[in-house]
Chains A and B, each alone.
Chain A
Amino acid sequence: MSAALRRFFLLSPALAVILFLIGVPLCLMAWVSLLDKGGTSGVDWSSAPSSANYVRLAWEEDFDGTMILNTSYLVIFLRSVSLAAVTTVLSLAFGLPVALWMASLSRTGRDIMLLLITIPFWTNLLVRNYAWLIILREDGWVSRFVNMISPWPVQLLYNDAAVAIGLTYSLLPFTILPLYTVFEKFDWRLLEAAHDLGATRKRALLRVVLPIATPGIVAGALLVFIPCLGAFVTPALLGGGKTLMLGNIIQMQFGASRNWPFGATLAVVLLAIMLVVMTAMALWRNRRTA
């Protein structure tokens, strides 16, 4: 058997499973986003494809048939993107010092920190967010303490801040790890050189460390921003009914609303935003290395 043929037989099962169970469904979903709702399965398979679902994202038909702007979905898009952005910034703000500190540790210290940072990532996302639900809830001691010192009543749960805390908590390791891999290989003598040339710590940080960390910052930002956009568990548990994100309204269309084609439309939009962000990052990276 030739090497190429053997390689084909070894590789094709895994590729086939992924293409059939992930690639094909995504294409099917793009098609369904053009159809009408209906039937017992939530999709009217015989309906003519149209862009009606995409129009519905921003406009709705008024009583007299004219199209008027409907901002309810746009608001949710905007909230998802801004919460993802806030989470990304917070994760970087915490991730950068942690990665710097980790790189300054001994070999054993680094390994222990690496393990400590990775473990939460492998534990159940639902359970980790539930832990925050316990901590922040109304009759919990954190809430009591805050309300004791605050002059007005404070609700810690079911708002944007709680969702941002939960998302940062869930995704923080994703900024620490790529930044750490950058700093691990960093030649620290460059800092000594900067120092010898009269740079203050702040200047050395801005002019030496940050430029070198940029690939790690970009990778970390992507790894946080994209999962945030599609987050479902965190806003569902910590955001309550008021702080909906894209993931929640997708689930609602497939659940209670039973409008699968519109749900597919929202999911396609999610993938499209993700694709735009990733392409922009790739272009930027190419321009930098070129």
Chain B
Amino acid sequence: MNPQRFPFTRETSLFVLAYLYVPVVVLIAYSFNANRTATVWTHASLDWYGRILVNPSIQSAAWNSLVIAVSAATAATVLALLAALATRRAFLGCGASEAILNMPLILPEIAVAVATLLLFVSLGVKLGLGAMVAAHTAFCIPFAYLPIRARLDGISGTYEEAAHDLYANRFRTFRRVTMPLLWPGVMAGFTLAFVTSLDDFLTSFFLAGPGLTTLPVYIFSAIRAGITPEINAISAVMLVVSVLLVSLSFFLGRLRR
């Protein structure tokens, strides 16, 4: 059953794909440009990649980003996994709970970021890594929750019933039956939470405190100071890392049940 094709839908789609991908390709191409002025193409080189590898402020920003993303994604995945197990069967207040879990997805990030800043300052919490990990954990929860929940919905209850009939207790059933089936969903959720945290700019920007940067915060201030080929190279690296991780998550989500 082939839908009737409307004129120009194909052309528009190709245009949209170009619109989405040309800037990315241009950016990556320029990151290999040897010329200092970044707009004039001389010849291909890996110079800028070499430079960002030995730049100490980029190294420390990358390290901070990584520490925050690993901690926040781990915490968010554990919390989301527990919550997903709880909301598996509908109950009174299930809808409300899910609405709260998904709240970070709809709220404008800038409002949440400044509100969290106000909270930390009013409580006397020191800004920095700890504050950023806490805030990232909160907004990463729905990104981990949704894939885990989707995977859980696809697991038939009969496996657990069988385990139960064979005298496995609740914990054993979870460890030996539910968890192995759920694992790809958990990994997909972790990866999405990790990418979300790694790419976050606004929350980190407000909560970083003096002297601390993450990669996106570093990139933002570097752009403000002027376009350099180094920014192209870091940006290209960040793009490639995100794309690889998301493809991994997509693949994990499609693993056979």
Contact = CB atoms under 8 A, between A and B. Distances in A.
Interface of A: 4, 6-8, 10-11, 13-15, 17-19, 21-26, 28-29, 32, 41-43, 45, 94, 97-98, 100-104, 113, 115-120, 122-128, 130-135, 137, 139-141, 169, 172-173, 176, 186, 188-189, 191-192, 195, 201, 204-205, 226-227, 229-230, 232-233, 236-237, 247, 250-251, 254, 260, 263-264, 267-268, 270-271, 274, 278
A56 B101 CA distance: 35
A80 to B, nearest CB: 11
B103 A22 contact: yes
Contact of A22 (B15, B112, B220, B232): B112
Q: Is the interface of A mostly helix, strand, loop or mixed?
A: helix
B44 interface: no
A26 B192 CA distance: 25
Contacts, number: 254
A13 B100 CA distance: 12
B150 interface: no
Interface in B103-128: 103-104, 106-112, 114-119, 121-122
Contact of B23 (A22, A169, A236, A267): A169
A264 B121 CA distance: 14
Contacts of A120: 20-21, 24
A97 B9 contact: yes
Given A11-B82, A124-B216, A124-B235, A97 B110 contact: no
Contacts of A123: 24, 199, 238-239, 242-243, 246
B232 A10 contact: no
Given A21-B138, A101-B13, A127-B239, A230 B111 contact: yes
A270 B1 contact: no
Contacts of B134: 21
A104 B239 CA distance: 30
19 contacts: A4-B91, A10-B85, A14-B80, A17-B79, A22-B115, A23-B100, A25-B112, A28-B122, A43-B121, A97-B13, A104-B5, A115-B250, A122-B245, A126-B201, A131-B26, A133-B223, A189-B1, A251-B110, A263-B114
B246 to A, nearest CB: 4
Nearest to A104: B3
A125 B111 CA distance: 17
A200 B109 CA distance: 45
B4 interface: yes
B27 interface: yes
Contact of A237 (B7, B116, B223, B246): B223
Nearest to B231: A130
Given A104-B2, A201-B7, A127 B27 contact: yes
B139 to A, nearest CB: 8
A140 B202 CA distance: 28
B220 A126 contact: yes
Given A13-B83, A25-B119, A267-B115, 5 more contacts: A101-B9, A123-B243, A134-B27, A137-B39, A247-B110
B239 A118 contact: no
Given A22-B103, A188-B3, A11 B83 contact: yes
Nearest to A205: B6
A11 B149 CA distance: 13
A11 B4 contact: no
B156 interface: no
A176 to B, nearest CB: 8
